[in-house]
A and B are shown apart, each in its own frame.
Chain A
Amino acid sequence: MKKGDKIVGIVLLVIVVIALGATSIYKASIKGSANIAVIKREGKVIKTIDLNKVVKPEEFTFKTANGHFNTILVNHNSISIKDADCPHKECVKSGVISKPGEMIVCLPFKLIININGQKNNGIDAGTF
């Protein structure tokens, strides 16, 4: 175990979505290595996909409790939200993500996809 690995062991990454007063808390400890996409709704993991092992394109549709949907498209080493019936389709506009640390968020439906891992082009955070 190298020194870097130990540091990763004590990292705590928390992602929270605050939308219209509702708060959901997401916790995921970063484990490095493979490109694992984690899909969560309101803090609960609804699917994890090892993007490395995806051979052919595949689609999944996840419905919210009141019938709304996000359709997720996975390819070898990449993932995106292909379609959704949220008002602004911000999640669809986010495009394709493929690198550890990248994230797609659908605020209205409280859905988050992020790719677990350690490095992101040497960039620690983005300002927008």
Chain B
Amino acid sequence: MMGTVVQLKVYGKNAEQATKKALERISDIENKMSVNIETSEITKLNAKSGISGEKLSVDSYYVIEKAVQYSKLTGGALDVTIEPIVKLWGIGTDKERVPSKGEIEEKLKLVDYKDILLDKKKSTVQLRGPGQAIDLGAIAKGYTADEIKKILIDNKINSALINLGGNVFALGSKVDGTSWNIGLQNPLDTRGQYIGTISVTDKSVVTSGNYERFFIVDGKRYHHIFDPKTGYPSEAGLISTTIVSDKSIDGDALSTSTYILGLEKGLKLIESIKGVDAIFITNDKKVYVTTGIKDDFNLTNKEFIYEKR
């Protein structure tokens, strides 16, 4: 969750109060789940790996449980035990570098979601082996968006736009009753340049892209979405995956997993889940849209080719 711009547009009488509560909730979740905060539950859990379990809040337990469900559903494409690999590469920090093959193989041994031992009754989680660690970066923002939505609804807000570093939740419709228009980032252009728009009401729209966090060495680009099977940035042919869903935690988990699964497997997965849709962009600039949202998506950039599904 480190380094995210949070933007809330809240409409209505209670907007100020609701926003204040939402911001408090964001800090609360950040303090529980960030691996960059020494006192967070996840930091403590990671420190005890291979030794004992850590008792977690309802929030952290739920998010980890959900992550494990998605690991199972995606055959391990999403795996929150990727932390040792994330740390090794250090992308986005001042320690970023391309590790040696040996180093990657060494750390990859620690990556396996099956080593997350959940005890629901006690609300504890343990990592099986020493050195194993969890990073909830692929899913925590989605959970946060869902929680903010709850707070806004509790405060009688029925029109709002939650944007957590590109993870968008459009609550209700606009004040004039029309749908929200969400711009889809052009993966090959600067921030704020869109390839098209998707029109939504009461939906989460989450994108994973290789352009968001990366570094370049000898002309090769290394991005931050790691394939848990290889320990390298995922190169499955997609440069951007956008998920439209009711819950943002699902969108967050699925955008990362489909990015890693690639076009065919990704489409198959999305089409098997009811109420979830996707827009995939391949590295040869083809855009694939699932049937549930094909009438809501408007491709405006002519460089990209719309592939009917």
Contacts and interface: CB of A to CB of B under 8 A. Distances in A.
Interface of A: 7, 10-21, 23, 25, 87-88, 93-95, 97, 102-103, 105, 107, 112, 121-128
A21 B183 contact: no
Given A124-B181, A127-B185, A94 B5 contact: no
The 8 nearest A-B residue pairs measured at CB = A128-B185, A128-B166, A16-B6, A95-B190, A123-B183, A12-B15, A126-B183, A127-B207
A126 B166 contact: yes
Contacts of A21: 30-31, 34, 36-37
A23 B13 CA distance: 25
Given A14-B6, A20-B36, 19 more contacts: A10-B13, A11-B10, A12-B10, A14-B9, A17-B4, A17-B5, A19-B2, A87-B94, A94-B190, A94-B191, A95-B190, A107-B5, A122-B197, A124-B181, A125-B163, A127-B167, A127-B185, A127-B242, A128-B191
A18 B1 contact: yes
A15 B190 contact: no
B215 A88 contact: yes
A127 B206 contact: yes
Nearest to A101: B192
B182 A18 contact: no
A15 B22 CA distance: 12
Contacts of A102: 192
Interface stretch (B49-57, B63-71, B168-176, B261-269): B168-176
Contacts of B4: 17-18
> Max chain A CB contacts within 10 Å: which of B6, B190, B197, B209?
B6
Contacts of B206: 127
A21 B40 CA distance: 11
Contacts of B205: 127
A125 B10 contact: no
Interface of B: 1-13, 15-16, 19, 23, 26-27, 30-31, 34, 36-37, 92, 94, 161, 163, 166-168, 170, 174-176, 180-185, 190-192, 194, 197, 205-207, 209, 211-212, 215, 242
A127 B184 contact: yes
25 contacts: A7-B11, A7-B175, A10-B11, A10-B13, A12-B8, A14-B6, A14-B23, A15-B5, A16-B5, A16-B8, A18-B1, A18-B26, A19-B3, A20-B2, A21-B31, A23-B27, A94-B191, A95-B191, A123-B182, A123-B194, A124-B181, A126-B168, A126-B191, A127-B183, A128-B185
Nearest to B31: A21
Contact of B182 (A15, A20, A97, A127): A127
Contact of B23 (A16, A97, A122, A126): A16
A18 B175 contact: no
Contacts of B23: 14, 16, 23, 25
Given A21-B30, A127-B206, A128-B191, A88 B183 contact: no
Nearest to A3: B176
